Structure 1
Amino acid sequence: MKSSLPIEILRFKELRESLDHTQQSFAEQLGIKNSTADIERGKSKISGAILVELMEKFQINPLWLYGKSNRKKLDTTINTSPKVITVTPDNNDGIVLVNVKAAAGYPHNLQDLDWYEELPAFSLPLPEYRNATYRGFQVQGDSMLPGLYPKEWVLGKAVESISQLSNNTICVVVMHDSVLVKKVQMHSTDEKLSLISLNPEYPPITIDAFQVQELWEVTSKISAEFDENAGNLALSQIQQSLSDLKNEINQLKK
């Protein structure tokens, strides 16, 4: 027997069950007293306040709920791809270099072609840098120590949307007022992001996803510094570890 309940009621119940909510727990999520039983029986209507909660918390398309669309979820994809693509005189993708000084004006000049022409650019004849857009950014401050040092350069690969990014990836995050190099940690709703520093002295920063204008996944870095003692340091660390292990073994034998 065909149900006489309106389609929005049927889809409301279908949604609750697909989310593994009870009538009580779903009511709590939507700010409804007691349970959703009256709504699912057709005794109460879906109010505007409930509709807002469905949109904000579960990204539900209201047109789907009322049978006017087959697309269940709202399109919340945020375009983080580069606003300007540069090419070198030989028609290769150019890797524009954005130093610390230029980074201050970068968020405000994302679509200014003349501004980009003032920045240095180069190309790399390596296969891993083909068929993708890269950009170089200079690291500012010590928040990414010990992985990245001040004034080093990172090369970032353009990311079209946040949904394409792997969690806990180091990125150059271009917001409306700043450019930050951070590890990006995504939240379960995709509406919030945490920007994590490698240096534990800096606390995480939580931002709304819509604040991100461009996103560049860091794939490599360029450093002018060379630590001549790095090999000796590594060797001394190995020797110390072996010595500590030997002492532990001797203690066990006693």
Structure 2
Amino acid sequence: MKNVVSQRFIKCHDKLKAEKRIRSSRAFALSLNYLPQSLSEILKGRRDVTIELLRQSIAKYKLNPVYLFTGDGPMFMTEESNQNFRILTTITTPDADELIVHVPLPAQSVYAAELSDPSFVQSLPTYSLPDYKYKVGTHRSFDVPGDSMEPTLFEGDKVVCAFLEPTLWQSGIKDNYAYVIVTRSDVVVKRVRNFLADSKELEVISDNSFYDTYRIPLSDLREIWYVRARITPFLPSPQNIQRYVHDEMSELKATIAQQGKLINRLGVSVEKVLNRSSRDQ
């Protein structure tokens, strides 16, 4: 009996034939460097589709991986959406429990560049957490790079994140929440404002006011992970604490100075009223 992914794969194959985008099943198999006999076994329900065949089909014929694995969305992707999708490699225990893959800082540039090589993800460290919420869905953790999210997150912290399906980016990304954003060349941790519906961009914001806000176009987005928890291995350095306290004191001084000006203005206004009252008498 075919599994549900194989059934959806066959539907995509049949639609390609019906629309004459492939001449035959044999031509389809050969175009993917796959044995026509093995494809025939899949189409007859005698064996299930392989991950490698799925990867090749997605790359060449733009089969929608979200449809294949969840049943949601269209069977095929547009050129634009095809650039944003990648099959997510996951690691499981012998009992089929999914593990959390950790992406350390030295591996993040390579992680952003890798498109379809599952061996790289399989080489990364994995672990599990006891909370049930980390047993549902796909989770990944990342080292926090740099100081752009101080004082919320510090370099050396780890953030544990839930995977956000690309089909949910437009509606599911919430303004001012923190996300790990994987682009074509980098991994960043930022707060975001969602402009995907209007201008096909995400605006990314640092908690550290030293860093400028900027926008990332949809075409550069690879993966988006919602930050659910932080793991802090150590306290921030004295220099970071001193800078944070200095910034807080500067802001407090500015507030006091502004309130002082308001009080002075109020005093002048009261004095004018009193002088006017004395003259009227």
Fold conserved (TM > 0.5)? Answer: yes
Q: Give the distance between the partners of 1:173 and 1:160, measured in 2 at CA.
A: 13
Q: Give the distance between the partners of 1:126 and 1:148, measured in 2 at CA.
A: 22
Q: Give the distance between the partners of 2:131 and 2:198, measured in 1 at CA.
A: 37
What's 1:209 paired with?
218
2:198 equivalent among 185, 189, 199: 189
Instruction: Confirm whether residue 167 of structure 1 aligns to residue 175 of structure 2.
Output: yes
What's 1:236 paired with?
none
Q: Give the distance between the partners of 1:80 and 1:200, measured in 2 at CA.
A: 32
Q: Give the distance between the partners of 1:80 and 1:131, measured in 2 at CA.
A: 21
What TM-score does the superposition give when structure 2 sets the normalisation length?
0.51
Deviation of the 1:167 alpha carbon: 1.8
Structure 1 segment 108-187 matched on structure 2, within 5 A: 108-161=113-166, 162-163=169-170, 164-187=172-195
2:105 equivalent among 93, 100, 103: 100
Deviation of the 1:81 alpha carbon: 7.2
Q: Give the distance between the partners of 1:194 and 1:216, measured in 2 at CA.
A: 15
Q: Give the distance between the partners of 2:158 and 2:182, measured in 1 at CA.
A: 16
Q: Which structure would you say has the larger RCO, counting Cα contacts within 8 Å and 6 or more residues apart?
A: 1
- Superimposed CA distance per residue, residues 121-155 of structure 1 (whole angstroms, 9 cap, x where no aligned partner): 01123111122110000011100000000011001
Structure 1 segment 14-53 matched on structure 2, within 5 A: none
Q: Secondary structure at the match of 1:189?
A: helix
Q: Secondary structure at the match of 1:183?
A: strand
What TM-score does the superposition give when structure 1 sets the normalisation length?
0.56
Structure 1 segment 43-82 matched on structure 2, within 5 A: none
Distance 1:184 1:220, change over 3 A: same
Does the 8 Å CA contact 1:82/1:158 hold for their aligned counterparts?
no
Aligned length: 161
Higher helix share: 2
Deviation of the 1:104 alpha carbon: 1.5
Tell me, which stretches of 5 or more residues in structure 2 are unaligned?
A: 1-76, 246-255, 257-281
Tell me, which stretches of 5 or more residues in structure 1 are unaligned?
A: 1-73, 234-243, 245-254
Tell me whether 215-224 or 115-124 shows the greater mean CA deviation. Answer: 115-124
